[in-house]
A and B are shown apart, each in its own frame.
Chain A
């Protein structure tokens, strides 16, 4: 069974620090990975996608992919209270279906 695993948290990080969110996946076929942010009571919104090994940066966000270790991470630099949300990791399978993790709740403390 294809799975995406995330620590449910909550992960508490001081304002201004780096938040590190992690995700592992079981399907070696997966080549593309996505990070979504979901505020309480709202729908998920795409914040980052990554397809190649290494780092991909977009503003304060950096996605990291290690296919050999089947590991994806999201770093948020200079964390702000507005970053407090649940972060969902997803892996794309061979049928173009997203396999979802259960999400990590992130709390940024002022």
Chain B
């Protein structure tokens, strides 16, 4: 049981480049989330998808787009990377509302924008 799988694990981008972070879960969860984590800032929600076919902005959506490709997959796209987007990105999923027991996180993507 893989849980939540994120790719890539590490990435270095030049300012202005674009990239897509991939996330897939095999737990049949309805909801999926993208967070960024910066030192001293805690987890900040970028976008979430409450169910297949829906996406909503979180606390810090500027500079990002998302796609809920199907129930399993939720991708995060940086169209024009900026140094301020250097961070660790986590994807998470959860079952809602029945059976909610917190979020399950992927192992993260460490992104550096130079």
Contact = CB atoms under 8 A, between A and B. Distances in A.
Nearest to A36: B102
B42 A103 contact: yes
Q: Among the interface residues B40, B50, B102, B107, which one has the most CB atoms of the partner chain A within 10 A?
A: B102
A42 interface: yes
Interface stretch (A10-18, A19-27, A44-52): A44-52
Interface residues of B, number: 21
Contact of A100 (B43, B97, B106): B43
Given A43-B108, A96-B31, A102 B101 contact: no
Interface residues of A, number: 20
B34 interface: no
B96 A96 contact: yes
A34 B42 contact: no
7 contacts: A8-B40, A43-B90, A43-B105, A43-B106, A97-B48, A98-B102, A102-B41
7 closest pairs, A vs B, by CB?
A102-B42, A43-B105, A96-B96, A46-B102, A100-B43, A34-B102, A43-B108
Interface of B: 31, 40-43, 45, 48, 50, 90, 94, 96-97, 100-108
